[in-house]
Structure 1
Amino acid sequence: MRPPILYLSIAFGLGLSAVLSGRGEWGVVLPVLMGAALLVRRAPLAAACGLMLVAGAMWGGAARRERGASCAGRWTSLQTHSAVIQLTDPVPASGGVTEGVVRAGPCRGALTVRWPDGHPAHGGTTWVVAGRFLPDARGGILVARRVRPLDAVRRGRGALRDRVAERSRRLFGAQAPLVDALVIARRAELPAELRERYTRSGLAHLLSISGLHVAFFAAWLNIVLLRLRLGARARFVAATFVMLAYVWLLGFPAPATRSAVMLAMLDIAKLRQRVVAPRGLVALAALCVLFGDPWSVQSVGAWLSVAAVAAVIWAGRATERHGTVVRLLAPAAAATLFTAPITAYTFGTVAPIGLLANLAAIPLAGLAVPGLMVALLVSSSWLAAGAGLCLALLDVVARVAAALPGGHFIMIAGPRAAAMWLGVLAVAWWLWNSPRRRWVIAARASLIAAVLSLTAVFAAFTRLSDCRCLIVSFLDVGQGDAVALRSPAGRWLLIDGGPRGPQGDAGRRVVVPFLRSHGASQLAGVVATHAHLDHFGGLPAVLDAFDPAFVLEPGEPVPDAGYLGFLAAVESDGAEWRAARRGDRLQLDGVTVEVLSPDSAWAGSQTDINEESVVLLVTYGATRLLLAGDAGMPTEAHLAGQVGHVTLLKVGHHGSRGATSDRWLDELRPAEAVISVGAKNRYGHPAPETLARLRAHGVAVVRTDERGTITFTVSSHGTLAITDVRHHA
């Protein structure tokens, strides 16, 4: 029988989620209360679930009001705000993104700050910070322009985290960012390449403080307390206090809090000599997490944590009577399968290789994490050397696992990817619960062989050519633009990220999976051609997945909440922001990317945002490609006589009638043109007039709405050819 707390926790979470996602509080509460009143006699558990749903809705309403009263909730954009902030983490001289807590002023709460360079700061110190606030869906970021120290004494949690980071740099040198991530959940300085490597190897959970880290900490702490010969109650009090102190130092992240609550409950059950129902334990721990942090119901990390621990508990019970090998592999396999639909839906990637990688990585992490903690605590270079060796071995495991062909699947994130992995989970469940007969063993072997074969075929067909060429891909993002350039040496530049709206986020759904499937681990740069959602909408998802060195955009003030959110994402990522101006040049392994428009005078005089588009000329050898963004005939006239012949044209403004004039085509004389456009779009793009002009000039036209993603390969000898076309699914 399933424990009632399981249903009560689910009901509370549903009510919480409904209100935090935007539904009216009383629109949830009143109908449910009426239903609970009708069911209280005949179905008391259902009535209790109704009341818990109401409690969740009320709690969610309180959380929304609290956030609305915070600085991030009250401040408006395009204005300068100031606050007295105590820093949570240290900030290097190069600046970056940091967290802080507002200590004085008309509002309170946590705040994310983009710290200016040239002002190193210790964690726990208090500063007066002034700058422009950029709101986004996650709360927003304060772009600090002026900072002044108010209290140089390190205090509170920030002071402890600062001392840990300081000691980490002294003891571990180049490994310090990884040490900070493993010990205090400070990931700001982790290289993007390292994060991508751990993601591909199925070990990404090791880089964020999860329940596993708390379990490592608790296990070694228990050994120490046993050696001290403390009584059972004394051990419980000491362990609980130390555990809560550690989770407080971390900032109470949902996975770590869930693990600490579960361990405390297990200790209480042992003291009271009670048997604990595993499902009830997980449910009660999740309920406690939701009480402490209502917004964790929207956290992917929290969902992954609960799904993984539920899978491990189930696997442990289901394999009690099986052999050692099965009991060893079952928890990792179950956790991978149970969390696969979530990671596929959210990130578009699943790494089955993690099943094997974790067999080596978890024991290494079990030694490394406590070793790092002790080394930092006692400041021992000998212990640091031993723990550093474990870290090096852990990185070797990640490198090998990430490099194995077929070790990870990359797909378009969203419901379809999740449905596919739910199907895989259902098949695995059916096979596990089938009778133990020879044909079942044969079926399992056939399934594994089929999966491996499909993986090999998938990998073979999704890799780009290894030639030292410029590869330009016009991605099928629907009604929008996204162009990915890969230099001859394998560096990537992204121009636009596609749309974001009711149809989904093209950045998360298309662009990120494309880049990952073709081996990109970081971006040389990102260009947002202008402030229209069909171009910049998918870029925040790209910034979440990769760390570009810079972001180039027109640099003109646009009072649009979505674009301000994009700029906030740029600031949060820590990428260098640049305003695109005529004459700017970027060299990428022999490829020249030149900005033709806008210049300062032109950008400042335009009332149509399309005419502010960043127009790029890409040159490799004798081949020239023109990427026109949404620039129309006014920009074309402004650039007349300054461009010359090009080989390939990305047609401006999706082929609208207001772009690609006869005079423009007379000057450019392109052999081929690409139109990035959505099928059956409501704008009527591309316009018949534009297509007629292109035909009249003898230009071969290819369209993403007809052919899907289109990839051109440009050799150093000047030849250009379509080498890959991905038709619509």
Structure 2
Amino acid sequence: MKLKISSVEPPESDELEVSIFGPGKGESVVLHLGAGRWLVVDSCIDQQSGAKPPLEYLRRIGVDVSRDVKMIVGTHAHDDHFAGIADIFEACSEAIFVVSDALTTKEFMAQIAADAEIPQLSRSRAYREYSRIFQIAESRKKDGFRPLRRGTESLRLLSFPAENGVPAVTVTALSPSEQAKTRALKILASQAPQVNGRRGKVSQLDPNEASVALWVEFGDVRILLGADLLKGPAGCGWKAVISTHFPDAPASLYKVAHHGGESSHYQPVWDGLLTANPVALLAPFRNGNIDQPQPGDIARILSMTNRAYITASGSPTPSRAVRREASKLGSLASNVRELWGRAGHVRARRRANEGDWAVQAFPPAALLK
């Protein structure tokens, strides 16, 4: 396949595309499923411009997002995956929105309804995004159209037959597992706000446990999108996926789970669900002293593949000390400051039944090293 250099060149009708954006603030994956059909997973915000890179990119390559985006998946309720996602849903007026089945129980809805009265929740962007998403979905219900769907293990979310040279496509949720949903239900039920009387504590549920990981099939090509799914505990996370998902062929591209962190690394995923030396895509996470991937994480990923890409290297959100030092450089620091808060872009394309992935990294994205 001829490599298209321009970031504004749209894919061909029979081309599969996986684009990852981040961090700015957040992480988002955009997929072309052939025939002008698009899937958006999560969201991010460019901290310099305030733009939502998934929307900006799709519009730049000529996609009519109101018509051509078929589905949006919000993998879990963390700001770095959910910031700005309600804006994306609002713009994509014919899309179905998928949420984790573990985070749409009546107990979770009760926390959403009470967010104005619980300061910790009202400060969470993810919960505010959920509230707006539910309002948009409610306004779009018509003629049997269900704009909101719950993702759970082994559930087929999208399916398109082969047509006009474009291969058959399926998108399947791999998680959350039944055990993960049970754990979430117990935690939320024990701490749910009460309508009258003393309110309980804010839930201690880690939304990563309830992440929606995805398996995509495009002809003979397989893709694994890992969200922020954790390795366990037993019956949950990747341990559950390995025990319930038995594909006919391994994935040649992996969106690395949880920014490459150790808590989401599960070796059987690399051994059983991925080809040798797969294309690996990830976005870093920076928040105060929390920094992923760590040097050890990078070394581990590079021991699995020499085709790993990251949407931004170094620290895209520098500390105050770094900013103070850079400010002393005046105009000499302008090139460095230009990258701060910018969402990088890695794009991988290929056709089914022929060739390999053609991968491009648009600054500040780069090969992982």
For the aligned pair, the TM-score class normalised by the smaller chain equals 0.5 to 0.7
Deviations 1:73-93 (A, max 9, x none): xxxxxxxxxxxxxxxxxxxxx
The separation in 1 between residues aligned to 2:7 and 2:208, in whole angstroms, is 37
Give the CA deviation at 1:726. 1.7
Equivalence for 2:149: 578
Counterpart pick for 2:260 among 655, 659, 663: 655
* Offset, 1:499: 5.1
Check conservation: 1:659, 1:690, Cα contact below 8 A: no
- Asked whether the equivalents of residues 254 and 274 of structure 2 are also in contact (C-alpha less than 8 Å), the reply is no
In the alignment, what sits opposite 2:358?
722
Q: Which amino acid aligns with 1:614?
A: V
The sequence identity of aligned pairs, in percent, is: 24
Q: What corresponds to 1:342 in structure 2?
A: none
- Give, in whole Å, the separation in 2 of the partners of 1:704 and 1:681: 19
Note the 1:78-477 alignment, pairs <5 A: 462-477=8-23
* Stretches of 4+ aligned residues off by more than 4 angstroms: 678-681
Partner of 1:627: 225
Q: Report if the CA contact (8 A) 1:530-1:609 is conserved.
A: yes
Name 1:709's counterpart in structure 2: 345
Q: Matched residue of 2:259: which SS? A: helix
Matched AA of 1:637:
K
| TM-score, normalization by structure 1 | 0.34
- From the superposition, tell whether residues 597 and 719 of structure 1 become closer, same or farther in structure 2 (CA, over 3 Å): farther
User: How far has the Cα of 1:479 moved from its partner?
Assistant: 4.9
Q: Distance in 2 between matches of 1:567 and 1:509?
A: 17
Alpha-carbon offset, residue 699 of structure 1: 4.9
Asked if the contact 1:591–1:619 (Cα under 8 Å) also holds between the matched residues in 2, the reply is yes
8 Å contact from structure 1 (residues 660, 690) kept in 2: no
Note the C-alpha offset of 1:662.
2.5
CA distance in 1 between partners of 2:8 and 2:34 (Å): 18
CA contact (8 A) 1:662 1:693 kept: no
Equivalent residues in 2 for 1:540-619 (5 A)?
540-555=86-101, 556-557=103-104, 558=108, 559=111, 560-561=121-122, 562-574=125-137, 575=140, 576-585=147-156, 586-588=158-160, 590-606=168-184, 607-619=205-217
Q: Which runs of 5+ in 2 are unaligned?
A: 1-5, 112-120, 141-146, 162-167, 185-204, 314-342
Flag structure 1 segments of 5+ consecutive residues without an equivalent.
1-459
> Taking structure 1 as reference, are residues 491 and 688 closer, same or farther at Cα in structure 2, changes over 3 Å only?
same
- How far residue 690 of structure 1 moved from its aligned partner, in angstroms, is 2.5
Q: Which has a greater percent of helix?
A: 1
Q: Give, in whole Å, the separation in 2 of the partners of 1:605 and 1:566.
A: 23
8 A contact 1:477–1:510 mirrored in 2: no
User: Is the CA contact (8 Å cut-off) linking 1:526 and 1:548 kept in structure 2?
Assistant: no
Q: What is aligned with 1:75? A: none
Secondary structure of 1:463's aligned partner: coil
Aligned length: 268
Structure 2 residue 282 is the aligned partner of structure 1 residue 690: no
The answer on whether the counterparts of 2:154 and 2:173 sit within 8 Å (CA) in structure 1 is yes
- For the 8 Å contact 1:710–1:722, the answer to whether it is kept is no
8 Å CA contact 1:478–1:678 kept in 2: the answer is no
1:486 aligned to 2:12?
no
Task: Tell me by how many angstroms 1:700 deviates.
Answer: 2.4
TM superposition shift of 1:602: 2.0
Structure with higher RCO (Cα < 8 A, 6+ apart): 2
Shift of 1:719: 3.5
Q: After superposition, what is the alpha-carbon deviation per residue over 1:90-109, rounded to whole angstroms, capped at 9, x for unaligned? A: xxxxxxxxxxxxxxxxxxxx
Higher relative strand content: 2
* Post-superposition offset of 1:462: 1.1
Q: CA deviation at 1:516?
A: 0.7
Separation (CA, whole Å) in 1 of partners of 2:219 and 2:288:
37
The C-alpha deviation readout for 1:464-507, integer Å capped at 9, x for no partner, is 1335111111123435220011121001110001258xx4786x
| Root-mean-square deviation over aligned CA pairs | 2.8
Indicate whether 1:639 and 2:260 are aligned: no
Structure-2 separation of matches of 1:683 and 1:722: 32
The one-letter code of the counterpart of 1:569 is: R
Q: Which amino acid aligns with 1:587?
A: S
Matches of 1:464 and 1:579 in 2, distance apart? 30
Would you say 1:510 and 2:146 are equivalent positions? Answer: no
Structure-2 separation of matches of 1:614 and 1:638: 12
Residue 710 (structure 1) shift: 0.8
Instruction: Map Cα deviations across residues 34-58 of structure 1 (whole Å, 9 max, x no partner).
Output: xxxxxxxxxxxxxxxxxxxxxxxxx
Structure 1 letter corresponding to 2:221: T
Say whether the 8 Å CA contact 2:312–2:363 is kept in structure 1.
no
CA 664–520 in structure 1, closer or farther in 2 if over 3 Å, else same: same
CA contact (8 A) 2:26 2:83 kept: no
Cα distance between partner residues in 1 of 2:288 and 2:241 = 29
Cα deviation 1:611-639 (Å, max 9, x = unaligned): 10001001112211111110111111222
* Structure 1 stretch displaced more, 661-670 or 547-556: 661-670
Relative to structure 1, the CA distance from residue 570 to residue 702 in structure 2 (aligned partners, 3 Å threshold; closer, same or farther) is same
Q: Tell me the secondary structure at the aligned position of residue 639 of structure 1.
A: helix
Are positions 1:526 and 2:82 aligned together?
A: no
